[in-house]
């Protein structure tokens, strides 16, 4: 199957811009799914990122003849038994800000050191068409949780996620650095390689 265009299962123009940055020079056309906000909402209540991403892709692909991309991502912290995990966006409540979530995370880790502060950002990306999955890819980036908020860039847990190879948090990283190293960037590049027919390691 030759894939030339993909619709993102979101109404978030910022997410579209991020994916476009991750595919510089690609002939692949990316766009938002038309009328997304008027479509029946998919309830992301599955216990894993993969199930949420697949469920979302399959659900929204039933409303268009085009190929749909959906992803699910979040933060897993070793000392919290994998939390916040699939609840990353709702960790501090449905109306919480990024700052609220970061402060709660730091409070939960107060007094924990070493391996307990090891963390992993995970992203699962799924392509689907007419209610059938076409491709499922995933990737991650490993780091540690800081003891304070550092940096004003990025979003979510970026200001508390420290990458040893950068020597700073995602909140302090440039857009180019984050695109190169992030879980979403790595997963999407795997997907692009698959689309191009290249061998992709599992």
Q: Is 158 a catalytic residue?
A: no
Is the separation of the CB atoms in 137 and 190 below 8 Å?
yes
Q: Which long-range contacts (CB under 8 A, 24 or more apart) does 33-39 make?
A: 33/7, 33/8, 33/9, 33/60, 33/63, 33/64, 33/68, 34/7, 34/64, 35/63, 36/9, 36/10, 36/11, 36/60, 37/11, 39/63
Q: Given 31, 43, 65, 72, which residue is catalytic? A: 72
Just list the catalytic residues: 72
């Amino acid at each position: 199957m030759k894939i030339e265009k993909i619709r993102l299962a979101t109404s978030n123009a910022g997410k579209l811009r991020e994916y476009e940055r991750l595919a510089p020079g690609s002939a692949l056309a990316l766009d938002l799914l038309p009328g997304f906000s008027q479509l029946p909402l998919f309830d992301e209540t599955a216990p894993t990122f993969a199930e949420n991403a697949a469920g979302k892709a399959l659900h929204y692909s039933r409303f268009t003849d085009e190929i749909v991309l959906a992803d699910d991502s979040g933060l897993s912290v070793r000392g919290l038994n994998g939390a916040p995990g699939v609840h990353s966006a709702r960790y501090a409540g449905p109306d919480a800000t990024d700052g609220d979530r970061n402060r709660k995370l730091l409070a939960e880790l107060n007094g924990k050191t070493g391996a307990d502060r090891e963390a992993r950002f995970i992203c699962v990306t799924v392509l689907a068409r007419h209610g059938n999955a076409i491709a499922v890819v995933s990737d991650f980036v490993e780091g540690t949780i800081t003891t304070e908020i550092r940096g004003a860039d990025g979003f979510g847990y970026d200001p508390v996620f420290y990458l040893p190879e950068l020597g700073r948090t995602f909140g302090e990283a440039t857009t180019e650095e984050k695109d190169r190293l992030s879980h979403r960037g790595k997963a999407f590049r795997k997907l692009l390689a698959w689309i191009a027919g290249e061998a992709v390691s599992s």
